[in-house]
Structure 1
Amino acid sequence: MFNHYKKNKMKKYKSLLMSALLGSLVIFSGCREEFADLNSNPSDVVKAEPSYLFAQAVINFEPSGYTYWFYNAAMTYRWGQMGVPTTGFNSTYTETTATGEQGGQYISVLNYARDLEHLRSTMSKEESAKYANMAACIDVLTAYLGVFDSDMYGDRPFIDACRARYGGTLTPEYDKIETLYTLWLSMLDDAVKTLTTSTNQTFPTNQDVIYKGDASKWAKLANSLRLKIAVRLLAQNKAKALEIASTVANASCGVLDGTSDNFVFNKAKSVTANDGDKVYHWSNGFLQGTAPSQRVINFMIKNKDPRVRFFYQKNQWSSKVVQAFFDAGKDVPKYVLDNVVYTENGGKKTFVQWKGMGEPWVRYYGLPVEMNAQYDSNNADYFDSNRFKLTSTRSYQPFSMFQQEMIIGRIDFTLPTLPGDPVIQDTNDNPWYGMYMSTAEVNLYLAELKLLGANLPQSASTYFNKAIRASVEEYDRLASLNKIPYYGTTYGYDPNEVAIDLKSGEIDAMASNPDYQLTGDKASDLEKVYIQELLHFTLFPCDQFVTVRRSGCPKEGSTLIKWENFGSVVPNNAIPRRFEVGSPSPTDLMYDVLIKAYKSQGFTPGSNQSGTLLNSERVWQDKGAPQFGAGPAL
């Protein structure tokens, strides 16, 4: 929990971030930033070469930077009960802190779209046509970020934004999300047409670190991205959402389908004169106070879901640590001990082997979701840190945390070893690979929309089965690319340690479980699809929370992952469904525009707002969606 001083400091920081965002709306960026060395020579920037503008748009594409993960993610995981405060849930868990990314990520790419648009307007018609594909690709990136940024903040300045340098306004109006969804769908449709029909294009492959200038793959991404908008339209215009799904599924360009199509890339292999965060994402830790939900991890372990190993870190209780606690006469947490086979002779316990599923499965545990679970003596093994201590200076965390090296490439890992043993570390900095959209996400949406009535060529089960298999394969690949702890190695310290790599037959074993199969019962099948979307989005906090918000899952009374109703302590309608919007300063150039935009959306600006207010004053796309825990709307 933040103390009073820290909360005030965070609120001040939030205000500064908002001011920075609004200022960025009117700053020309096409030539102001240093370009990645692998893509351009900084001395050439003044020429505004189209391929350099495209390369810089890609470099600046960032839906989830450090402040997003440090502030926003901690809140959305808790509000959606997919994560738990390490101090447990209490009556104040819905309070907001500063929010990191203030809904303006799209600006950094939209600027380059405007720059390229202007540059092409100065060319002959024939010359301008050579850069149609580049412009279309930037539009795809801009639409992606626009959807992302509007999820938690609602209406955005877009149509008139970033045009001040070219004669536009310094105070762009906020556009309605309904209008923007229509606009972004049109942009994506135009992008697909351009990318599948244009000829004689100038598109150097070395400027495109995503698809190496392959227009067909960009077209698949543009087509697939329309599904992200479709599912967000379900509460407002279901017919339109289903129509979009049919159009996407039947488009000749296809959708993301397999490893080479997935929107996965890293921006650079090494740091030169540029910001290292472009290579490694960043270097600061995050989510130090948020752990996974016990219900989520138990569900994944029960169903032998290998992704639990890629989403979360092993706990620190290896067999050697267990034995050390035995030798010291100290208690081993019951939930750990339940997975241990040991002998006892003369009061001395000896570790023999792991029970049940064995390593690595027995190293993953989440925290209880129940309100005030930390005050229940039965949960002391989770919350009493004194029980984690082997000595006064060495402690071992028995529950898991989120896997940080799936998000950042510049962080050190220290193996949990015993006092007096050598320190074993992985201190290598690895260029970070991010996944932004994939085959699994596409097929989960298609399964959902098919169940809701979309006219699609395949069955919901076909899409669903493809999605869950693809999701495991995608995260196994990301774990390998990002060289996360225990992937491909046991470090040679504990003889009972097992690497976390995907093993032959594991996907089949997972998919054979009833919880991972559709049966033809619409309500049950829809919940299963939403649960898989929530799991797939474990490392996408905003997408995951949007799915919680629009689906009503986790659901109260569920046999899959159950939503905990905190009753009168924190009713479901007192949990925020969006982030706060700050009160603008009267001296702000955008003051009148902001006040008008907030009033139009029914938002009350301010800070320290109640969860009840942030639940009732919803963004447009969330109006009419199920309340938390209510389950899917059929």
Structure 2
Amino acid sequence: MRYKSIITAAILGTSLIVAPGCKDEFAEVNTNPSAVTKADVRFLFTKTLAEFEPSKYQQWFYNNLQYMLPWTQATLSNEAGNQAAMNLMGAYESSQSQVVNIKLYTEEIKYVLSLMEEGERAKYENIRVMCNPLLVYLGIFGTDMYGSLAYSDAGKALHELILTPGYEDQESLFNTWLTQLDEAIEVLTSNKADQVTLGAQDFVYQGDTEKWAKFANSLKLKIAVRLLHVNKAKALEIAQQVATSPAGIMNSLDDDFFYCKGSQEYHFGDDVLDGQGRGIGSQHLIEFLVNHKDPRVRFVFQKNDFNSMVVQAFLDHKIDLPPYIKEAANINNGKFEGWKAPGEPWVRYFGAPINTDARNNGATNDAYFNYNKFKIGDKQYYPMARMNREMLQGQKDYTFPDAPEVSVTEDKQDNAWYGLHFSSAEVNLYLAELKLLGANLPQSAAEYFKQGIELSVLEYDKLAELNKIPYYSDVYDKKEATLALMDNEINNLLESADYQLSGSTKEQLEKVYIQQYIHFLLFPQDQYVQVRRSGVPMRGSKILAWQDFSTTAGDPNFAIPRRWTINSPLQSDLMYQIKVDAFKAQGYTTGTQDPKILNFERVWYDKGAPNFGEGPNF
């Protein structure tokens, strides 16, 4: 069929301009499939890599900032504080579209290779299997909140005319993905000398197949920890396979999946933080990070607006400072003289209470949520730490806070966005968890734990530097300190009892889960999955406790959804019966936004996991 060749050419990125003299060549492409073999598979792979995007704009705007981060008690859902309806889902972005989008390109790579002679096709084996971990990563991302999804036959409509791909359950998906990762590891570690190389066409690992093999091998741990409540033995077996694989594991910043498409790639244009309001850090989390002098608070969250000059301006205009800022300042006869211990760079990070009733208390509302209290004339100041915009987007301008009558100073430097989609810190923290649960691994849980924390801090510092966040290397106020990682900070952090493995297995697991929780602050779905499967943070903890959202009588548990709401399929949908059967098999109620139902009806691997805040139940 001719339309197939036309669409194929479009997917390959071929520029086909219908003009006098070109008509016969266009017809030949439509009628001669072998003409497509001229496409460069390297460029197809680059396009696949460029389309790799776990969290698009709407996922950050809705899924991450409106639901997941507030539900895990990392941030607040609204600048006016959490509200009673915060556990009700409204608009959101599907997390399944990304894997389908990538699969379109990987299926095209396989199709183009199928048209080659066997000898020529064999030269592209490395590139073909390098697609596997990309697909698996996004597949995990797609199934976490839904369960079953269409995968194996997805993306095959173009050449195989499969318009109704079957849904596969999570257990089958995990088996398929483990097989795909094993295939990638086997091919990439075979050291074939005749393989076509990618070089700069691979903007993550520059065609280094050893690093791709480490990535594929380490990614198996993301599946292993999700299996712990449904097949613990298999989870531990996977961990042991990963640790002994000749591919090795991701264990340094050089192994990490740092991601930047190019000098003018800014991630997305619209502001996901909705002006100045959303993404405010939770009070208990910010206090934990600051009290332990954890450098990651400086990289994930942005300094508030109350530098020494703003504090002095409030004093000069005889306007009350927020009480927690006043308490941190040394003020004498109406003059700001400096900060109390711990001083800069720690004193401009404050979070807000997460309780849905907090803003109903007059004093609390005035201290945190009444923004009219944080003004001098018409100029607004923000006393709390919000997620750092420039860690999420490039091309963001920053206005340095100052007194209202001072000329504005701005940082307008455009900078490409750098992300980190999978890391050595995540790998080591998974290994620490799996070791504690019985996996036969070469290092102790304490060693993996320590490496995980150290790598996490280094990774966040590198991201902050690459994204050129405000204050990273320069200050605006002479009484400020820069944010870059300082000598001995990591060593000092690791001396804290809360950052060392000790106590019972459950107590050690809690510490591992807290570090996963902190590491995942810029990876909200992974953080949500970690909280969902571990029950950490947990109620009554002496380290970082789970807080009750609501103090309303009869509602002590405030149900939080454990999966996304799913629309009831339309009978006009070609996939109608397939979807109906898949949802029924999982016991899902479709079309509901009831958080109690969405809390009770779980995805397969979540069955048996503890409720939010209950702590580990192994």
TM-score by length of 2: 0.92
Pairing 1:146–2:139 present: yes
Which residue in the other structure is 1:275 paired with?
none
Following TM superposition, by how much is the alpha carbon of 1:102 offset from its aligned partner in structure 2, in angstroms? 3.8
Pairing 1:268–2:254 present: no
Secondary structure in 1 matching 2:431 = helix
Which residue in the other structure is 1:584 paired with?
569
Letter in 1 for 2:287: N
Determine the C-alpha separation between the residues in 2 that align with 1:539 and 1:124: 45
Which residue in the other structure is 2:94 paired with?
101
Pairing 1:258–2:252 present: yes
Among residues 180, 185, 199, which one is paired with 2:173 in the alignment?
180
Which residue in the other structure is 2:614 paired with?
630
Letter in 1 for 2:585: S
Query: Is the Cα contact below 8 Å between 2:12 and 2:44 reproduced in 1?
Result: no
Deviation digits for residues 276-317 of structure 1 (CA, Å, limit 9, x no counterpart): xxx110121123333111111100111110000000010000
Which residue in the other structure is 1:562 paired with?
545
Determine the C-alpha separation between the residues in 2 that align with 1:589 and 1:28: 21
Secondary structure in 1 matching 2:479 = coil
Determine the C-alpha separation between the residues in 1 that align with 2:345 and 2:604: 44
Which residue in the other structure is 2:435 paired with?
450
Secondary structure in 2 matching 1:254 = coil
Deviation digits for residues 41-98 of structure 1 (CA, Å, limit 9, x no counterpart): xx99883321111111001000011010001002011111121232223321101121
Among residues 274, 285, 303, which one is paired with 1:314 in the alignment?
303
Determine the C-alpha separation between the residues in 2 that align with 1:371 and 1:623: 28
Secondary structure in 1 matching 2:280 = strand
Following TM superposition, by how much is the alpha carbon of 1:101 offset from its aligned partner in structure 2, in angstroms? 3.3
Determine the C-alpha separation between the residues in 1 that align with 2:279 and 2:370: 16
Following TM superposition, by how much is the alpha carbon of 1:104 offset from its aligned partner in structure 2, in angstroms? 1.8
Following TM superposition, by how much is the alpha carbon of 1:237 offset from its aligned partner in structure 2, in angstroms? 0.6
Following TM superposition, by how much is the alpha carbon of 1:514 offset from its aligned partner in structure 2, in angstroms? 0.6
Which residue in the other structure is 2:187 paired with?
194
Query: Is the Cα contact below 8 Å between 2:37 and 2:115 reproduced in 1?
Result: no
Letter in 1 for 2:235: A
Secondary structure in 1 matching 2:261 = coil
Which residue in the other structure is 1:421 paired with?
406
Query: Is the Cα contact below 8 Å between 1:210 and 1:264 reproduced in 2?
Result: yes
Query: Is the Cα contact below 8 Å between 1:133 and 1:198 reproduced in 2?
Result: no
Distance change (3 Å), C-alpha of 1:267 and 1:30: farther
Among residues 589, 609, 614, which one is paired with 2:598 in the alignment?
614
Following TM superposition, by how much is the alpha carbon of 1:113 offset from its aligned partner in structure 2, in angstroms? 1.5
Following TM superposition, by how much is the alpha carbon of 1:265 offset from its aligned partner in structure 2, in angstroms? 2.1
Deviation digits for residues 156-203 of structure 1 (CA, Å, limit 9, x no counterpart): 101111112222420011111110101101100110010000411012
Distance change (3 Å), C-alpha of 1:323 and 1:569: farther
Query: Is the Cα contact below 8 Å between 1:31 and 1:46 reproduced in 2?
Result: no
Secondary structure in 1 matching 2:178 = helix
Letter in 2 for 1:84: L
Distance change (3 Å), C-alpha of 1:71 and 1:33: farther
Letter in 1 for 2:304: N
Q: Write out aligned runs for 1:54-93 (5 A).
A: 54-74=45-65, 75-85=67-77, 86-93=79-86
Pairing 1:32–2:11 present: yes
Distance change (3 Å), C-alpha of 1:29 and 1:266: farther
Higher mean displacement: 90-99 or 316-325: 90-99
Which residue in the other structure is 1:381 paired with?
367
Query: Is the Cα contact below 8 Å between 1:554 and 1:561 reproduced in 2?
Result: yes
Deviation digits for residues 369-399 of structure 1 (CA, Å, limit 9, x no counterpart): 22311111231211111210111x1121111
Query: Is the Cα contact below 8 Å between 2:8 and 2:158 reproduced in 1?
Result: no
Pairing 1:332–2:321 present: yes
Determine the C-alpha separation between the residues in 2 that align with 1:577 and 1:321: 42
Following TM superposition, by how much is the alpha carbon of 1:206 offset from its aligned partner in structure 2, in angstroms? 2.0
Pairing 1:285–2:271 present: yes
RMSD of equivalent CA atoms: 1.8
Following TM superposition, by how much is the alpha carbon of 1:564 offset from its aligned partner in structure 2, in angstroms? 1.6
Determine the C-alpha separation between the residues in 1 that align with 2:485 and 2:439: 34
Determine the C-alpha separation between the residues in 2 that align with 1:173 and 1:616: 26
Distance change (3 Å), C-alpha of 1:139 and 1:564: same
Secondary structure in 2 matching 1:351 = strand
Identity of aligned residues (%): 44
Determine the C-alpha separation between the residues in 2 that align with 1:189 and 1:35: 33
Deviation digits for residues 539-559 of structure 1 (CA, Å, limit 9, x no counterpart): 001000000100101100111
Query: Is the Cα contact below 8 Å between 1:31 and 1:45 reproduced in 2?
Result: no
Deviation digits for residues 403-429 of structure 1 (CA, Å, limit 9, x no counterpart): 111011021111112122121111122
Secondary structure in 1 matching 2:420 = strand
Following TM superposition, by how much is the alpha carbon of 1:457 offset from its aligned partner in structure 2, in angstroms? 0.5
Which residue in the other structure is 1:510 paired with?
493
Query: Is the Cα contact below 8 Å between 2:36 and 2:112 reproduced in 1?
Result: no
Following TM superposition, by how much is the alpha carbon of 1:569 offset from its aligned partner in structure 2, in angstroms? 5.9
Following TM superposition, by how much is the alpha carbon of 1:30 offset from its aligned partner in structure 2, in angstroms? 7.6
Higher mean displacement: 111-120 or 61-70: 111-120
Following TM superposition, by how much is the alpha carbon of 1:574 offset from its aligned partner in structure 2, in angstroms? 1.8
Which residue in the other structure is 1:10 paired with?
none
Query: Is the Cα contact below 8 Å between 1:89 and 1:369 reproduced in 2?
Result: yes
Secondary structure in 2 matching 1:555 = coil
Which residue in the other structure is 1:16 paired with?
none
Among residues 424, 448, 472, which one is paired with 1:463 in the alignment?
448
Which residue in the other structure is 1:15 paired with?
none
TM-score by length of 1: 0.90
Which residue in the other structure is 1:390 paired with?
376
Distance change (3 Å), C-alpha of 1:160 and 1:504: same
Query: Is the Cα contact below 8 Å between 1:406 and 1:479 reproduced in 2?
Result: yes
Following TM superposition, by how much is the alpha carbon of 1:29 offset from its aligned partner in structure 2, in angstroms? 6.8
Determine the C-alpha separation between the residues in 2 that align with 1:192 and 1:469: 27
Following TM superposition, by how much is the alpha carbon of 1:33 offset from its aligned partner in structure 2, in angstroms? 6.5
Secondary structure in 1 matching 2:97 = coil
Pairing 1:357–2:357 present: no
Letter in 2 for 1:531: I
Deviation digits for residues 501-538 of structure 1 (CA, Å, limit 9, x no counterpart): 11111111111111111114211110000000010000
Following TM superposition, by how much is the alpha carbon of 1:584 offset from its aligned partner in structure 2, in angstroms? 2.1
Secondary structure in 1 matching 2:522 = coil
Q: Write out aligned runs for 1:482-497 (5 A).
A: 482-491=467-476, 494-497=477-480
Pairing 1:597–2:588 present: no
Which residue in the other structure is 1:238 paired with?
232
Higher mean displacement: 569-578 or 70-79: 569-578
Following TM superposition, by how much is the alpha carbon of 1:35 offset from its aligned partner in structure 2, in angstroms? 8.4
Query: Is the Cα contact below 8 Å between 1:217 and 1:261 reproduced in 2?
Result: yes
Following TM superposition, by how much is the alpha carbon of 1:581 offset from its aligned partner in structure 2, in angstroms? 1.1
Query: Is the Cα contact below 8 Å between 2:44 and 2:105 reproduced in 1?
Result: yes
Q: Write out aligned runs for 1:517-528 (5 A).
A: 517-528=500-511
Letter in 2 for 1:216: E
Following TM superposition, by how much is the alpha carbon of 1:227 offset from its aligned partner in structure 2, in angstroms? 0.3
Distance change (3 Å), C-alpha of 1:30 and 1:267: farther
Distance change (3 Å), C-alpha of 1:316 and 1:591: same
Secondary structure in 1 matching 2:252 = coil
Query: Is the Cα contact below 8 Å between 1:310 and 1:403 reproduced in 2?
Result: yes
Letter in 1 for 2:520: F
Determine the C-alpha separation between the residues in 1 that align with 2:594 and 2:7: 37
Q: Write out aligned runs for 1:291-306 (5 A).
A: 291-306=280-295
Letter in 1 for 2:501: L
Distance change (3 Å), C-alpha of 1:30 and 1:573: farther
Determine the C-alpha separation between the residues in 2 that align with 1:217 and 1:480: 23
Determine the C-alpha separation between the residues in 2 that align with 1:615 and 1:320: 47
Determine the C-alpha separation between the residues in 1 that align with 2:430 and 2:595: 29
Secondary structure in 1 matching 2:386 = coil
Letter in 2 for 1:496: K
Letter in 2 for 1:189: D
Determine the C-alpha separation between the residues in 2 that align with 1:48 and 1:571: 60
Query: Is the Cα contact below 8 Å between 1:177 and 1:620 reproduced in 2?
Result: yes
Determine the C-alpha separation between the residues in 1 that align with 2:305 and 2:605: 42
Query: Is the Cα contact below 8 Å between 1:83 and 1:290 reproduced in 2?
Result: yes
Between the two proteins, the alignment pairs up a number of residues equal to 586
Determine the C-alpha separation between the residues in 2 that align with 1:369 and 1:103: 30
